[in-house]
């Protein structure tokens, strides 16, 4: 599943292409996504002008000039492709997950513009589209989620207060979107390695300094991943033919059995499966 940096790359690609454009036509080929596409989906979006594409956590938010929104979540396998009507492009994918070219099957939703199409492809159909009528409804939609790592609300006061008396391990909290929004399995392992914190340490046992490290390194790693274009786990390319490059900088994720990359550390990277999720960590310097 794409995490915050990968969704941000999709946002940037989409915003560059569809900002200030008007949707000419909407085609629905399959309503049966994670949530059923509503009956008014076509009429809600057709002929509306897009003023920007925003993002919160792992959600894309299309802003329309009328003050309403279309929310998109890519789920496990969703990808968004931009197809030019006037010229053939080798790469259509706006991010780095799955095929860099438009697959022949599972094209569920199509937004048509004057000279190009935006196509949502999703083999597993865990992604979804949701129509939001106004700003208050948008805020209500996200009220159950914690702040993003880049948000000023994600500060030492918030983190220390949240962890008070919590017995759950810190790795699980970094994946808990109610605590902080946008971090997934890849970046959680990398954040905890850079912070030199045992991923299985109980949150209530973290020191104030360790909490500060988590805040700082969450911002640092996600920012770096966005700059590097996200993580191309399968070496696929985006619409410009560019590879996501952050996977080249992984310190522990998918590094099981390798020597720790921390200066002076002789530890070995280990992998442990917890709740069907892989956690990667150094058995020496993460205490």
What are the catalytic residues? 2-3, 58, 277
Closest CA to 109 of 86, 127, 88, 91: 127
CA distances from residue 257 to 189, 232, 253 in whole angstroms, order as listed: 15, 21, 11
d(CA 191, CA 281) in angstroms, rounded, equals 10
Identify which of 51, 96, 78, 52 has the alpha carbon closest to the alpha carbon of residue 186: 96
Strands 277-282 and 128-132: unpaired
- Residue 59 CA to residue 283 CA, distance in Å, equals 35
- Contact residues for 134 (Cβ-Cβ < 8 A; gap 6+): 67, 68
Decide if 14 contacts 59 (C-beta within 8 A): no
């Amino acid at each position: 599943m794409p995490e915050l940096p990968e969704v941000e790359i999709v946002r940037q690609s989409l915003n560059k292409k569809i900002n200030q454009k008007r949707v000419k036509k909407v085609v629905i080929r399959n309503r049966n996504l994670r949530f059923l596409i509503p009956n008014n989906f076509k009429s809600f979006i057709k002929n509306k002008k897009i003023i920007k594409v925003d993002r919160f956590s792992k959600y894309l938010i299309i802003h329309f000039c009328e003050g309403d929104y279309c929310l998109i979540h890519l789920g496990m396998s969703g990808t968004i492709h931009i197809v030019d009507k006037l010229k053939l492009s080798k790469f259509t994918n706006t991010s780095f997950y799955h095929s860099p070219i438009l697959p022949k099957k599972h094209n569920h939703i199509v937004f048509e513009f004057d000279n190009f199409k935006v196509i949502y492809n999703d083999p597993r159909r865990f992604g979804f589209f949701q129509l939001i009528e106004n700003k208050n409804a948008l805020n209500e939609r996200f009220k159950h989620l914690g702040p993003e790592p880049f948000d000023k609300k994600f500060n030492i006061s918030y983190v220390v207060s949240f962890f008070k008396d919590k017995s759950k391990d810190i790795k699980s909290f970094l994946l808990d979107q109610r605590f902080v929004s946008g971090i997934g399995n890849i970046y959680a392992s990398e954040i905890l390695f850079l912070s030199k914190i045992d991923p299985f340490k109980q949150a209530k046992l973290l020191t104030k300094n360790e909490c500060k490290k988590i805040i700082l390194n969450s911002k640092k790693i996600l920012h770096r991943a966005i700059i590097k274009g996200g993580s191309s786990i399968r070496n696929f390319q985006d619409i410009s033919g560019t590879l996501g490059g952050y996977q080249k900088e992984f310190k522990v994720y998918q590094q099981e059995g390798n020597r720790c990359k921390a200066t002076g550390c002789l530890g070995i990277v280990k992998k442990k499966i917890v709740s069907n999720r892989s956690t990667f960590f150094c058995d020496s310097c993460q205490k």
